Amino acid sequence: MSTTTTTESRDMTAETTRENSAALIRWLALVACAGVAIAVLMGFVARSIRVDSPVGEGTSLVGGDAADFRLPVLGGGESGPADFSGKVVIIDFWASWCGPCRLQAAFLEEMHEEYDASQVQFLAINVGEDEKTVQAYVDATPFPYPVLMDQQNVLSNRYEIYGLPTVMVVDKNGTIAYRHSGVLDKETLAKKVAQAGVPVPTDKEA
C-alpha cells in the first residue's frame, strides 16, 4: 500500500512538473511574441510618424545653398527660394496629419501680416502627401502664401527633415541661415530673421 501510494505521489508530482513546465513555456512564448510585436510596432511608428527634435544652427546644413531647388506649386507652376532673390525666405515643412503644424502655421500667418512682403517671403512645403489631400486641407485652412509639394520626400530627405513642423530660414544670399524642427515661437524666429538680414518690424520690437 505504501509503495503504491509513493508511486502515485511521484506520478502526480511528475505530471504537475510537466504541466508547470508547459505553462512556463507558453508564457515565455507569449512574452517573446509580445516583444516582437512591440518591436515591429515601434519600427512602424518610427517610420510613419515624424518626431519633433530641436536642430537649430547645429546642423551641418546651415550655411549650405538652399536656393537651388524648385518644387511644384499647389494650383500650378513651380517655385523655389531663387524666385525671391534679395528677400529672406521662411520655409515651413508641414503635413496635414501633423497637429503641431497647425500651431506653427498660425504663428507664421501672424508674422506674414507683420513683415513687409518686399523683404520676407513665406513658403509652405507639404511633405509626402498627394495633391488631392493637400488641396482639401488648404481649401478648409487656406495659407496666405504659396504651398509647394514635396510628394516623394525628395527635398525633405535631402535637407534631413526628420521632424514636422520644421522651419528653415534662407537669407538674402540664398543660404540656410537657420533651421529648427518642432514648433518655433514667433520671438525666436523673428530674431533669426533679423540675423538673416531683415529687422524685426518696428511696432513689434520690445
Residues labelled catalytic? 98, 101
- Torsion sign, CA atoms 192, 198, 204, 206: positive
Summary count for the chain: helices (H), strands (E) = 5, 7
CA-to-CA distance for 173 and 64, rounded, in angstroms? 11
Q: Is 162 exposed, middle or buried (0-12, 13-18, 19+ CB in 10 A)?
A: middle
Which helix (H) or strand (E) segment holds residue 159: the answer is none
Amino acid present at 189:
L
206/203 Cα distance (integer angstroms): 8
CB atoms within 10 A of CB 172: 16
Contact, 80 vs 157, CB < 8 A? no
For residue 34, the SS3 value is helix
Question: In this structure, are residues 206 and 187 in contact, taking their beta carbons and an 8 Å threshold?
Answer: no
